[in-house]
Amino acid sequence: MDFKIYGTSKDSNARAGEITTDHGKIPTPIFMPVGTVGSVKGVHMRELREDIDAKIILGNTYHLYLRPGLEILKQAGGLHKFNSWDRPILTDSGGFQVFSLSSNRKLKEEGAYFRSHIDGSKHLFTPEGVIDIERIIGADIMMALDECPPGTSDYAYARKSLDLTHRWLMRGWKRYKETDGLYGYSQAYFPIVQGCTYPDLRRESAKFIADLGADGNAIGGLAVGEPTEKMYEMIEVVNEILPSEKPRYLMGVGTPANILEAIDRGVDMMDCVMPTRNGRNGMLFTSEGIMNMRNKKWADDFTELDPNGTAWVDHEYSKAYLRHLFVSQELLAMQIASVHNLAFYLELVKNARKHIMDGDFASWKKDMVERVTRRL
């Protein structure tokens, strides 16, 4: 994997670059649609490629490990061939899903024991085992197994959790270095900065991870219950230490405003289920603000969904029609909203990149944050 920076903001830490993988190039900053079980919910691969122009999507190690299972994925030749996606894929380590099971998991030095949410069967994720799983899935970028503590964790727990994450990281790094990809292309490995909301722990973790010299680095454990301003503070603390010549990935964030603020602070990659999950529940993010498509006010509004939108659905369907579909509980409503929201997110980071290169990112961002947080 290769990363080049082509432009930086004059009045912020934002930067525009490009990641090169064996499955294609990824312009940064970039938003990555979440394809938990090998699919981005309600969206065809053709739409992701042609209408939304997603450069990279995510797969979830925990879910893919349970279904369809490693044997099927290996027989298929990896996730790219299984789901017919020929562009880059990133897989998380499954750690967040395991740790969110709470009562159904136990953390030990050897790894995370958990019960499947599907059938209750017992499983163990170790740092080494997760590397082996991600090799079989075949993602271009693999994530390290870590513990993601709640944002409200006390210092003692955050300290203990961070130490475990670092020990797991070194075991996973060793397995990564000892193994090769199974399908004839290279796979990068990103460690994850943890440390909850404690600046000293975050700095320690960022230094530990920067010294590893991986192809890229991730910031985890944010947007998990802590105040938004605290999240921004932790991003700033971490990015002062993480190497600027490597891509920085903020995991699981967030709203359009969160994304713009993260880019402003030097983040290159982001992902979140919000565009599709909120879309399926009737929330549209637009260039003029946020719309709840179930509201009565849209019942006789026959204007386009978003006149400035880039997806075909923005101009083919009216607000009144989409509201009708949601009220009627039609599946098409969820598909239209998902396509629109993903296209909006991708256009947002594309425009951010343009304004970084043009030198007016800070003023553009200020205006856009006001727009994208407005309730219509």
In this prediction, residue 347 carries a pLDDT of 98
User: How far apart, in whole angstroms, are the C-alpha atoms of residue 92 and residue 74?
Assistant: 18
The pLDDT, as a whole number, for residue 105 is: 82
Cis amide leading into 88 (omega within 30): no
pLDDT digits (tens, 9 = 90+) for 323-376: 999 999 999 999 999 999 999 999 999 999 999 999 999 999 999 999 999 999
262-310 confidence digits (pLDDT tens): 999 999 999 999 999 999 999 999 999 999 999 999 999 999 999 999 9
- Can you give the pLDDT at residue 99? 73
- Answer yes or no: is pLDDT of 104 > 80: no
Whole-model pTM? Answer: 0.97
The arithmetic mean of pLDDT across residues 118-145, rounded, is 96
Q: Known catalytic residues?
A: 92, 271
Cross-strand partners of 200: none
pLDDT of residue 96: 78
pLDDT at 102: 66
Convert the pLDDT of each residue in 174-201 to its tens digit. 999 999 999 999 999 999 999 999 999 9
What's the whole-number average pLDDT of the chain?
96
